[in-house]
Homo-oligomer: A and B are copies of this chain.
């Protein structure tokens, strides 16, 4: 039986949980892998105390500098759980170029360096596994890459950020945004600095990984239209539930508009979306993640589970280690990542929700509706809930499906009106 020697770099919560599970389950894992799995080295700033706490045997090498791993003799695979971007990028590229396999959970690294990582795999022969990088314990990447590879994927709608889903769930129960965030932080569901969660960037990184995996062509996070939940107020959520029968979710969306041609067209955005209450994504509450995949033959598929936390991430990392170990044991090497033709980004029509704050002056409503009408945007509903403050009268508009760019122009025109405040909320309506 072949021995597969693994190093784990990064001993934070995910890293030390991975090490713990790998040690505790080594025999069972080896049976499943058809190869002897051996933890050869651990690497982290506080390696001595972590090794002591986990009771690691002396045979496991302790390192503090991950730069020693790519050249360490006898190693088959490195698990990169360092966090950050610079050190992981150097470590992973160096490993792949030397033909060493890597498992990572680092979505920022993947979304920002997709092509570089692909080239390093092609050149060096090392292979990168990254199931844990999107939606934590939910095996969505393997489903898209393997199980649905024979199908035609039409769209992916994901609740991909547990922090914002937790906040939106609490807000739907009446809590204030600030208190909801603090509760998420107390529970360890949100980082001390939640900026990238709230502004949608974290979700965009995951959209980038999903789209790049499905098409084989790198979708840069900067190509994704991004809107976060910073502008969402409690009144948006209650209006959505009570008047529209919808729930607010921060969605990462990819629509594969045409895959047949030489230059496939895709749409990719992150946006708060109003989801019908009966839609399966509406039932995804708290810190849970879910991914709805629409495939031409399989129809609608939904994958649901915990998107973050040490357990779910370590579970996905172990799945990757097992899958890699099976390949090595069978003498195979996973194919190098595919390269697809570069896609052209496109928009498709969507219905929108717009909440404005206006001065209570005659003619405001007609100026707003005129700005929409000028650009050919058709209004589905308009509401002016009883506001007590004449300097801050809410106007809530929903539109019929319209081009997102045109809608954006109309919103800019409206915000330039003298009686309209700059503060506003835009959301999309899911069909």
Contact indicator B327/A332 (Cβ below 8 Å) = yes
Contact indicator B297/A314 (Cβ below 8 Å) = yes
Write out the residue numbers on chain B whose beta carbons fall within 8 Å of the beta carbon of A332.
327, 330-333
Distance in angstroms between the alpha carbons of A318 and B147 in the assembled complex: 8
Given contacts A315-B295, A332-B327, A335-B34, contact A301 B150 (CB under 8 A): no
Write out the residue numbers on chain B whose beta carbons fall within 8 Å of the beta carbon of A314.
297
What's the minimum C-beta distance from A279 to chain B, rounded to whole angstroms?
A: 10
Shortest Cβ distance from A142 into B: residue = B147
The interface-forming segment of A241-249, A302-310, A363-371 is A302-310
- In the complex, per-residue mask of A163-202: 1 if CB is within 8 Å of any chain B CB, else 0: 0000000000000000000000000000000000000000
What's the minimum C-beta distance from A320 to chain B, rounded to whole angstroms?
A: 8
Looking at the complex, which one of B25, B300, B317 makes contact with A305 (CB distance below 8 Å)? B300
Write out the residue numbers on chain B whose beta carbons fall within 8 Å of the beta carbon of A25.
150, 152
Copies in the complex: 2
Residue from A152, A317, A331, A335 having most chain B Cβ neighbours under 10 A: A335
Write out the residue numbers on chain B whose beta carbons fall within 8 Å of the beta carbon of A296.
311
Contact indicator A137/B32 (Cβ below 8 Å) = no
Distance in angstroms between the alpha carbons of A28 and B9 in the assembled complex: 37
Write out the residue numbers on chain B whose beta carbons fall within 8 Å of the beta carbon of A303.
301-304
Given contacts A142-B143, A311-B299, contact A330 B334 (CB under 8 A): yes
Write out the residue numbers on chain B whose beta carbons fall within 8 Å of the beta carbon of A306.
298-301
Residue from A149, A296, A334 having most chain B Cβ neighbours under 10 A: A149
Looking at the complex, which one of B31, B139, B309 makes contact with A148 (CB distance below 8 Å)? B139
Given contacts A146-B323, A330-B334, A332-B327, contact A137 B299 (CB under 8 A): yes
Cβ-based interface call for A116 (8 A)? no
Contact indicator B323/A298 (Cβ below 8 Å) = no
Contact indicator A149/B319 (Cβ below 8 Å) = yes
Write out the residue numbers on chain B whose beta carbons fall within 8 Å of the beta carbon of A152.
25
What's the minimum C-beta distance from A413 to chain B, rounded to whole angstroms?
A: 41
- With A29-B150, A131-B147, A151-B319 already in contact, 5 other A-B pairs whose C-beta atoms are closer than 8 Å: A32-B338, A148-B315, A150-B318, A297-B311, A331-B332
Q: Chain A interface (Cβ within 8 Å of chain B)?
A: 17, 21, 25, 28-29, 31-34, 131, 136-139, 142-143, 146-152, 259, 280, 283, 295-306, 309, 311-312, 314-319, 321-323, 326-327, 329-335, 338
